[in-house]
Structure 1
């Protein structure tokens, strides 16, 4: 991504701020794994969206005065020879300018004092923070620790939700973002194709994962956009399964819910296929029901629809297919076979932008996710594709990944080894 993209994102955010406002964003801190080990650092997605930077422990402070003029300052880690010998060079001011377009920088040690001066200057009434927690007991990150300080020392600043603004912004993808997602789709397609072509009865789930990871490693240092879900047989009945310890036995279906990351944009694609390369009659029956539902959704999705209608329509249409197949007689029982929603936004996160507009608009990208789980028959899978909303309809970004029964069986016949 070019720096102009991130400069434009900040400009749009500042335009959405109220006059007499401050905004503070944190890149985040490393999370300790054990002893002296840390989990790989993952920058806050909204911070990256605004700055283009993935450096830990840096801060963006911005303000908007009474005349509506915005200013910004980026706070970086100071040079540290010993730290840099162990963990790499720290971001410099000229690099921040090149990557994110920042002209005004300082060191993080100055942030507290400069924020204090701004807060008590009498010029600012509001404070925008991105302090969302997915669950209440999630660990405190730097923004949550800062929020507690604000409550104690700067309670006179009225709190505003930055995530709500950024959620709406992120929902509409810009051309460079769509291009990155297309590249991620190609990598994901290659990985899924490898799994299909390598498949045979007796393979372990971790071996399928190794095939997918190989494709990721050949094209992008970022690797997977989220932890891969790869399961076989009865393990398919755990929607978010991450153990990779199971074995695919003859007649089992293999389920994968995976996605590559490219320029920090991810995709989310699911396929189910028989490990032996040939769908059984029951597998065909259920798979065709889900496929017809997915195809129908791509035919009707267009600007102006409601996101809630996408999910409701998918459930109703999937029920009609299962009813015609003699599997589900009453719509009240659809939850027995359809365990999750039929759509969710995707972008910088697999489940992107928690706060999103309800009405579908051009530039949105979301997953059409049709799953069928028949525990009695031991068949569970989902067909999940990425839908780009266009001016008059939509496009399946993941259409190149084998999807129909014929495409999957033909792909698997080619073999990999």
Structure 2
């Protein structure tokens, strides 16, 4: 993303906060994995959304007043010895080129500067990015700073940045949609590589290797999220990451994958027979999923409640399963439909958004139709990315083969 994107994101945030507010956001730090080895660093997505900076131990500090705002970045100091071991650190001019923030300081100055600005009496509120999903998660920089402020400045009101950023991230800007569409092209190439390599006897890790190799050939060093790739009975684990199973003749291959381009993630699922030809029962179930997906893309439009999307997928899919004799009444549908039918995508694969908003142009979310019939040994999902437009919607992952005829044609070119 160009720096203008990050500048605009910050300006929008400041305009929605009360005058006298201070914003502090952290890039994060890689946790220890084992021994003296850390996990690879992955920057906090809200921090990247606001700054474009993806270096650990970086901090954005911004103050919002009635008619103005001040902002600065705190970065790690240059250190030739440490950089020899762990890589080059971003320089102030480079940080400006990415973020558009003029004032750059070093990390060891942060605490003193924070104390100084609080003591000016201009700050009434401090916004921190509280993002825990469980209470037993380790404290991030936001939670540690919250404890420090409460102990030393009890008159300061601490507020959560999350609701503001969730609302902003709900509607994608044109540059985000452009990046998503590029990610879709790369994902398509990876899925087609798996389809064309597919054969009975192939291991799940070999499918994954095909996908990863294709992404890397397009400059994507890792997928947008851990790939779910499974065969046969392993398809009945919704989040499956073992990759140790072997596809047998007659098995369906399930994949739930996505590339990341310019920090925008897509999420696409396709199911196909490992031997390249749908049998009768596979065809029956796949047509149910496909017809449901097509119905959703014909129907979704601005103004509809987001909370209704999942229910629409479930109800329409039930009717298709009823038509082929699997369900008699709606109460039975949970036997075959195991998960939700929609979630937003963007800077996260399950993007942090304001889910109370109705469908609005610029929203991008998945239409995820999953069918799992254990008695038949068939489980798969058909998942595409829906962009809400002015008058309806667009399937931006529709470029990836999704009809039975197209899948069989692609697999026939092996």
**TM-score using structure 2 length:** 0.98
1:8-19 alignment runs, 5 A limit: 8-19=8-19
Q: Over aligned residue pairs, what C-alpha RMSD do you find?
A: 1.0
Tell me the equivalent position of 1:356. 355
Structure 1 pair 221/279, CA: closer, same or farther in 2 (3 Å)?
A: closer
Matched, 1:107 2:99: no
**Contact (CA 8 Å) 2:176, 2:264: kept in 1 or not?**
yes
Q: In the aligned structure 2, how far is the partner of 1:226 from the partner of 1:394? A: 25
Tell me the equivalent position of 2:193. 194
**SS at 1:227's partner residue?**
coil
Matched, 1:39 2:73: no
**Contact (CA 8 Å) 1:131, 1:147: kept in 2 or not?**
no
Matched, 1:404 2:403: yes
Write the deviation string for residues 329-367 of structure 1: whole angstroms up to 9, x where unpaired. Answer: 110111111111110000011000154343010000000
Write the deviation string for residues 48-76 of structure 1: whole angstroms up to 9, x where unpaired. Answer: 000011010010111122x3421111111
- Misfit runs of 4+, over 3 Å: 354-357
1:150-189 alignment runs, 5 A limit: 150-189=149-188
Matched, 1:88 2:87: yes
Residue 222 of structure 1 deviates from its aligned partner by 3.9
Q: In the aligned structure 1, how far is the partner of 2:153 from the partner of 2:188? A: 50
Q: In the aligned structure 1, how far is the partner of 2:48 from the partner of 2:325? A: 49
**TM-score using structure 1 length:** 0.98
Q: In the aligned structure 2, how far is the partner of 1:357 from the partner of 1:7? A: 26
**SS at 1:255's partner residue?**
strand
1:276-355 alignment runs, 5 A limit: 276-355=275-354
Tell me the equivalent position of 2:234. 235
**Contact (CA 8 Å) 1:370, 1:384: kept in 2 or not?**
yes
**5+ residue gaps, structure 1:** none
**Contact (CA 8 Å) 1:168, 1:357: kept in 2 or not?**
no
Higher mean alpha-carbon deviation, 222-231 vs 115-124, is at 115-124
Matched, 1:272 2:279: no
Tell me the equivalent position of 2:224. 225
**SS at 1:376's partner residue?**
helix
Q: In the aligned structure 1, how far is the partner of 2:219 from the partner of 2:18? A: 39
Q: In the aligned structure 2, how far is the partner of 1:216 from the partner of 1:151? A: 46
**Contact (CA 8 Å) 1:131, 1:143: kept in 2 or not?**
yes
Q: How many residues align?
A: 414
Q: In the aligned structure 1, how far is the partner of 2:156 from the partner of 2:360? A: 35
Residue 39 of structure 1 deviates from its aligned partner by 1.3
**SS at 2:376's partner residue?**
coil
**SS at 2:381's partner residue?**
strand
Q: In the aligned structure 2, how far is the partner of 1:152 from the partner of 1:382? A: 50
Tell me the equivalent position of 2:4. 4
Q: In the aligned structure 1, how far is the partner of 2:67 from the partner of 2:371? A: 52
**SS at 1:159's partner residue?**
strand
Higher mean alpha-carbon deviation, 383-392 vs 67-76, is at 67-76
Higher mean alpha-carbon deviation, 177-186 vs 34-43, is at 34-43
Structure 1 pair 144/355, CA: closer, same or farther in 2 (3 Å)?
A: farther
Tell me the equivalent position of 1:413. 412
**5+ residue gaps, structure 2:** none
Q: In the aligned structure 2, how far is the partner of 1:325 from the partner of 1:224? A: 36
Q: In the aligned structure 1, how far is the partner of 2:372 from the partner of 2:134? A: 28
